[in-house]
């Protein structure tokens, strides 16, 4: 009798890429819901619109590149990218801005580099970076959160919001938007105001229950813990990122509490938590060795602080991540774990062996 032949191992565990990606989507839910609570349906619309654009562009790119549609769509990676990207957008941005961002994320950052698995840069962050550089005004219009007295997201109906996004209608930005705490603190400190005074002057930084950013941070931490528990991500990157950011900001805060923001502020504002657990941990573009992940995470934390405090942009997750994406191949090469039966060596004992072989 004749038999089919294959190569070992003949077994495969039940894991698939989409089961991994699905966990990421699940983990994003609490954070997204919290943001929706504060900012209304606009957040949800952003997510949906981004996903629709991303999936359409993904299909387009796959057809052009003559790749099979089903396996590559069912891996869910485009949806993860779109969702993460959407969470960095302020509510009520016009649709074409979203489209430009998604286009850069999916087409330029992902497919032009060879598609899933081959992108050296984090696609969602490429999309965000393009927008913040090209449309700084639109990208900084965060509307008033729920707890703010006066016009807020909740004062618009769904149709009205859709009108803002897709129609010519423009909201009276000045009336309904405000500076984010990061903006506020940055401008305040730059102007020479004490950190304490800035906080006092800020309408919604004083009270804990009103602090949108603290609550959403907590929700994203919950998602992050889920990912850790499900072993989708490892502890190294978030720990190193938050640790470094916390440490540097603590040093400056202790050194001069008036002119530098507190570590708690840095960790809970902007996209820090989202970045630490969901963005910097994107496996494709992050470092892959255990020690490499520590270095990678720590460096991102370092750059976040530098750019936030001395740079021109209020938040810095995107740029810090993109900068470190470039360093990944080098980090990975020099942080190989010690291989079984090898002596500890500063880097790659395999390379030493190879060179010895050549000599003899």
Partner 1 sequence: MNASLSTNPSTTALRLSQNIKLYKFHGGVHPPFHKKDSNQKPIEFAGIPERLIVPIHQHIGKTAELVVSVGDKVKKGQLIAEKSDFISAAIHAPTSGKISFIGEHSIPHPSGLTEICAVIDTDGKDDWGDYKLTPIEDPANADYSELLDRIEQAGIVGLGGAVFPTAVKLAGASQQNKNKIKTLIINGAECEPYITCDDRLMQDRSADIVKGIQVIQTLIKPENCQIAIEDNKPEAIAAMRAATADFSDIEVIAIPTIYPSGGEKQLIEILTGKEVRSGGLPIELGLMCSNVGTTYSIYKAIYLGEPLLSRIITVTGNGIQHPQNFEVLIGTPFSHLAQQAGGYTKMAENLIMGGPMMGFAIPDDDVPVIKATNCALFISATSLRESNPAFSNQPTLPCIRCGKCMEVCPVKLLPQQLYWHIRAKDFEKAEDHSLRDCIDCGCCSYVCPSHIPLVDYFRFGKSEIREQKVALEKADLSRQRHEFLLYRKERDKRERDEKRAAHKAALQEKKAAAKPNGANGEQSSSPKADAIKAAMERAKAKKQARTESEQSDAKTKETSSKTNTKANTEEAQ
Q: Give 136 or 283: the residue with its C-beta nearer to partner 1.
A: 283
CB of 241 to partner 1, least distance (A): 17
CA distance 76 to 58: 11
Query: Residues interacting with partner 1, by CB under 8 A?
Result: 1-17, 19-20, 68, 71-72, 75, 77, 115-118, 232, 234, 283-284, 286, 288-289, 332-333, 336-342, 348-351, 353-354
CA distance 293 to 99: 32
**Length of the chain in residues, anyone?**
360
Q: Show the DSSP H helices in 74-166 as ranges.
A: 77-87, 95-103, 123-134, 136-139, 158-166
CB of 306 to partner 1, least distance (A): 27
Q: Give 2 or 159: the residue with its C-beta nearer to partner 1.
A: 2
CB of 102 to partner 1, least distance (A): 20
Q: For residue 211, what is the DSSP state?
A: -
CB of 28 to partner 1, least distance (A): 18
Q: Give 176 or 295: the residue with its C-beta nearer to partner 1.
A: 295
Do 87 and 32 meet the contact criterion of CB atoms below 8 Å apart?
yes
Q: Give 117 or 201: the residue with its C-beta nearer to partner 1.
A: 117
Write the CB contacts of 189 (distance below 8 Å, at least 6 apart in sequence): 195, 198, 259, 260, 261
Q: Give 3 or 255: the residue with its C-beta nearer to partner 1.
A: 3
CB of 19 to partner 1, least distance (A): 7
Q: Which residues pair with 113 in a beta bridge?
A: none
CB of 117 to partner 1, least distance (A): 3
- What sign does the CA torsion over 251, 299, 17, 229 have? negative
CB of 14 to partner 1, least distance (A): 4
- What sign does the CA torsion over 90, 91, 97, 103 have? positive
String of DSSP letters for 288-351: -SHHHHHHHHHHHHHHHHHHHHHSSSS--HHHHHHHHHHHHHHHHHHTPPPPTTPPP-SS-HHH
Q: Give 249 or 287: the residue with its C-beta nearer to partner 1.
A: 287
Write the burial class of residue 25 (CB in 10 Å: 0-12 exposed, 13-18 middle, 19+ buried): middle
Q: Give 24 or 165: the residue with its C-beta nearer to partner 1.
A: 24
């Amino acid at each position: 009798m004749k038999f089919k032949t294959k190569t070992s191992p003949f077994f495969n565990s039940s894991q698939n890429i989409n089961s991994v990606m699905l966990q990421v989507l699940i983990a994003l839910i609490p954070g997204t819901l919290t943001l929706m609570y504060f900012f209304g349906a606009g957040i949800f619309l952003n997510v949906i619109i981004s996903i629709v654009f991303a999936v359409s562009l993904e299909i387009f790119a796959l057809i052009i590149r003559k790749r099979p549609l089903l396996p590559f769509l069912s891996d869910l990676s485009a949806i993860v990218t779109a969702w993460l990207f959407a969470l960095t957008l302020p509510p009520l941005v016009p649709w074409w801005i979203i489209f430009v961002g998604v286009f850069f994320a999916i087409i330029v950052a992902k497919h032009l580099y060879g598609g899933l698995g081959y992108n050296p840069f984090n696609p969602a962050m490429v999309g965000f970076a393009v927008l913040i550089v090209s449309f700084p005004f639109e990208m900084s219009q965060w509307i008033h959160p729920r707890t703010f007295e006066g016009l807020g997201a909740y004062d618009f109906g769904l149709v009205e919001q859709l009108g803002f996004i897709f129609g010519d209608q423009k909201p009276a930005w000045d009336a309904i938007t405000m500076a984010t705490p990061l903006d506020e603190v940055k401008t305040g400190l730059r102007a020479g105001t004490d950190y304490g005074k800035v906080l006092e002057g800020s309408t919604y930084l004083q009270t804990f229950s009103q602090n949108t950013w603290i609550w959403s941070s907590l929700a994203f931490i919950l998602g992050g813990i889920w990912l850790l528990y499900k072993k989708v991500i490892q502890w190294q990157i978030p720990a190193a990122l938050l640790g470094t950011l916390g440490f540097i900001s603590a040093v400056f805060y202790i050194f001069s509490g008036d002119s530098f923001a507190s570590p708690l502020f840095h960790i809970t504002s902007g996209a820090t938590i989202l970045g630490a657990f969901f963005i910097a941990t994107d496996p494709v573009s992050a470092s892959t060795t255990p020690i490499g992940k520590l270095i990678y995470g720590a460096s991102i934390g370092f750059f976040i602080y530098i750019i936030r405090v001395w740079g021109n942009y209020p938040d810095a997750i995107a740029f810090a991540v993109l900068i470190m994406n470039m360093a990944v191949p080098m980090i990975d090469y020099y942080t190989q774990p010690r291989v079984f039966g090898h002596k500890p060596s500063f880097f790659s004992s395999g390379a030493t062996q190879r060179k010895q072989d050549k000599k003899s």
